[in-house]
Structure 1
Amino acid sequence: MLEVFTDPVIVYDESWGDTLPEWIKDRITIERIVRVYKGEDDYATDAEALAYLYCASLALPMSQEWANIYLYLAGRYMKKRGADAYEWVPKELPDHEQSKLRELKHWIRKEQKKVVKVRKRQAKEFKKEYEQMGLFKLSDGGRFESKA
């Protein structure tokens, strides 16, 4: 359950990550809780796909397919937030665009798992390095205790 709060939000271009609206971040957390509750772990949430495409849309022009997918996701969330979607916003995606969205969500989830694996390895190396210095011992609670 901890991954709900600690897994990274994968975005297309990190320089645009700071502009991610708070409501998208909130939706990511809520949808991650649902994903964990359902026992699903292979795909990122729709909100995570929206966050990725939001940053991509700011960084570069999108193809028609990706623009449709982005508008579809954004339209669904705007409706949930009480806003009227424009008539040109797709209400459904054709099969090939649904497939692309599914592939994107799978790729995002794989990237999240890679980042978590690297973070765990770095934490182990950090702990080992400080314990080898002989100055500190890292307690089970994650606090440094002096050996003196």
Structure 2
Amino acid sequence: MLPTPVTRCSSSTLEMLRLLASLDVPRELLACMLEMAEFSIHHVRYLVGPLVLHRSLWGDVIPSWLKVACVKDRFDLILSEYEQDQVGDYATPTEVLAYMMPASFEAPMHRDYSDLYIWAGNEVMRKHNKLPEGADSFYELIGGHPIEFSTVKNDFQDLSRSIRRSVVKHAAQQGWGKRRNRAKAEAIAVDPAQVSDQPEQVSLF
């Protein structure tokens, strides 16, 4: 449960933030707005932290739409948690898919991770309308059987928790989350923390 701030964002303010995110506003600007709105330090860092990928020579295979989707889905999750007075532990399925994609090009994955990768792929492609016309699921495209979340839940939680922790850790190292009130808005504009557009490659499995 989050501590109750002096003021909380109105529903109209949250909708405005969602609109800005949909317009591909730089995430560092969105993070500054979250800081001024007194979101939790964790949420600020989670939004602005780098895309975390499996350490691999295949790091450049991530399509641009998936990178954009990672930021958008992070932001949606942050606003959802804020509305529920929560700070969550897990990253999004979109981030899990992006993390695992380079690994999928290196070598065959263990069956459990393969199922998680396929499940995440289906979730993300359906959500972001990336399935070919006429296809209802990713499973149809690969000729596989549907995978229930319950069968990949443990692996999803383990990996997505590690991803989120890594994102937050790197954002903290970049100096994010130190400014806590509106009185410091000028300092944010004058001396912003740096955001790297380069993905961070780490080994989480």
TM over 0.5: yes
The equivalent of 1:71 in structure 2 is 118
Distance in 1 (alpha carbons) for counterparts of 2:116 and 2:145: 8
User: How far does residue 47 in structure 1 lie from its aligned partner after superposition?
Assistant: 0.5
- 1:17-70 CA deviation, whole Å, 9 max, x = no partner? 322101111211221111111124421111000001111112332001111111
Does residue 117 of the first structure (1) align with residue 172 of the second (2)?
Answer: yes
Does residue 37 of the first structure (1) align with residue 52 of the second (2)?
Answer: no
Bigger fraction of residues in helix: 1
SS, match of residue 58 in structure 2: helix
Q: CA 1:116 to 1:71, structure 2 compared with 1: closer, same or farther past 3 Å? A: same
Counterparts of 1:51-66 in structure 2 under 5 Å? 51-66=98-113
SS, match of residue 11 in structure 1: strand
Distance in 1 (alpha carbons) for counterparts of 2:101 and 2:57: 12
* One-letter code aligned to 1:111: S
- 1:122-147 CA deviation, whole Å, 9 max, x = no partner? xxxxxxxxxxxxxxxxx93028xxxx
The equivalent of 1:13 in structure 2 is 55
Large movers: runs of 4+ above 6 Å: none
Does residue 49 of the first structure (1) align with residue 49 of the second (2)?
Answer: no
Distance in 2 (alpha carbons) for counterparts of 1:97 and 1:77: 15
Higher RCO (CA < 8 A, seq sep 6+): 2
Work out the percentage of aligned pairs sharing the same amino acid.
Answer: 22
Across the aligned residues of Structure 1 and Structure 2, the Cα RMSD in angstroms comes to 2.5
Unaligned runs of 5+ in 2: 1-29, 32-43, 82-86, 177-185, 193-205
SS, match of residue 54 in structure 2: coil
| Contact kept in structure 1, 2:112 and 2:152, CA below 8 Å | yes
* One-letter code aligned to 2:131: G
| Contact kept in structure 1, 2:73 and 2:92, CA below 8 Å | yes
Q: CA 1:31 to 1:90, structure 2 compared with 1: closer, same or farther past 3 Å? A: farther
Unaligned runs of 5+ in 1: 122-138, 144-148
Relative to the length of structure 1, the TM-score reads 0.71
The equivalent of 1:23 in structure 2 is 65
